[in-house]
Amino acid sequence: MNPNELAWQETLARARAEIQKVIIGQEQVVDLALMAILTGQHALVEGVPGVAKTLLVRTLAAVLHCQFARIQFTPDLMPSDITGTNVFNLQRNEFTLIKGPVFTDFLLADEINRAPAKTQAALLQAMQERAVTIDRETHALSPNFTVFATQNPIEYEGTYPLPEAQKDRFMLKINMACPGREEELTLARRMLQGEAPENVLARGEVHPVLGPNELQRLRAAMEAITVRDELVAYLLDLVRATREHEALLAGAGPRATQSLLLASRASAALAGRDFVTPDDIKALALPVLEHRLVLRPEFEIEGLTVREVIERILQETPVPR
């Protein structure tokens, strides 16, 4: 094992240990969130209320030494509430920028589908370019700017489904299920002992594992991870198969190819490897592709799901070995 691999493993092991002080279980969810951060991308988090979506992002910010901001999306939220606005200062006789919550490192867009498309679109430029334009003036955002948008999978009344272009901006979708029995039992016991996850975080017991600029260095290190040409071709075959599949109305675009490639690298890093294997790609195909694909209505009526289509594609595409 080379020193580079050892450094990753050590840093990521410490980060996981700190996160586990607050988040009980949910190892896969934590890994997927870390992948989004390590690749400088954004994630869509879907889960029923009370599964610690907000707490996860706050903990990640604390562990990775980043700023955290939260926006509760509502139907009357305006784009300027997100980006900020220029306010006229009577004393100085000039406009002063009041920065919105978007000027942060980790932004939690809570229940993003509660706001209309116009407000959702305010995030598009920020997510893609890490910059916002306010009154014709473009302002750069933090290089660590990462959006975690949450959605409730059961309440659709009074919501505005995310447009395909917006969904494509999210590298992966993280499904947060309810914790298992043992995990929930641990949570209950900790509550009784006054060790509730929120209290642990509030008391500052979670220590940052990275310095102010170390996240950038960690991201740069991702580029050293080897991805063989055959694996890139395999990944491309998977993505292209979604465009030709008879059950799919809209397949995944080129941004999905990039996302899957980046996520696979991050997955290899989290596994302590400096090379990507077909297993990394297969494991991430579902989180990366599922929210991007649109099923044809006639197949949806037949009971087919996007998950099943992706699984079939994975079974049918030959793995390079």
Q: Binding residues for other proteins, per CB under 8 A?
A: 226, 228, 230-231, 273-279, 282, 296, 298-299, 301-302, 314-321
Min. distance of Cβ 33 from other proteins in angstroms? 22
Min. distance of Cβ 316 from other proteins in angstroms? 6
Residues 6 or more apart whose CB falls under 8 angstroms from that of 309 comprise 242, 245, 247, 248, 293, 295
CB 57 within 8 A of CB 148: yes
Q: To which H or E segment does residue 62 belong?
A: helix 53-63
**What whole-number distance in Å separates Cα of residue 307 and Cα of residue 310?**
5
Min. distance of Cβ 227 from other proteins in angstroms? 9
Min. distance of Cβ 302 from other proteins in angstroms? 5
**What whole-number distance in Å separates Cα of residue 310 and Cα of residue 253?**
15
- Backbone phi, psi, residue 153, to 5°: -75, -10
Residue among 157 and 229 whose Cβ is closer to other proteins: 229
**What whole-number distance in Å separates Cα of residue 34 and Cα of residue 287?**
13
Min. distance of Cβ 74 from other proteins in angstroms? 34
- Backbone phi, psi, residue 263, to 5°: -65, -35
Region for 204 from its dihedrals, namely left if φ exceeds 0, alpha if ψ lies in -120 to 50, beta otherwise: left
Residue among 195 and 311 whose Cβ is closer to other proteins: 311
CA 95 to each of CA 131, 133, 308: distance values in angstroms, whole numbers, following the listed order: 20, 15, 54
**Reduced 3-state DSSP string for 239-296:** HHHHHHCCCEEECCCHHHHHHHHHHHHHHHHHCCCCECCHHHHHHHHHHHHHHHCEEC
Residue among 204 and 303 whose Cβ is closer to other proteins: 303
Residue among 53 and 282 whose Cβ is closer to other proteins: 282
Residue among 94 and 229 whose Cβ is closer to other proteins: 229
Residue among 100 and 278 whose Cβ is closer to other proteins: 278
Query: Alpha-carbon Rg of the chain, whole angstroms?
Result: 20
Min. distance of Cβ 195 from other proteins in angstroms? 36
Residue among 164 and 298 whose Cβ is closer to other proteins: 298
Min. distance of Cβ 192 from other proteins in angstroms? 37
| 298 closest CA partner among 244, 242, 247, 243 | 247
Min. distance of Cβ 107 from other proteins in angstroms? 34
Residue among 5 and 214 whose Cβ is closer to other proteins: 5
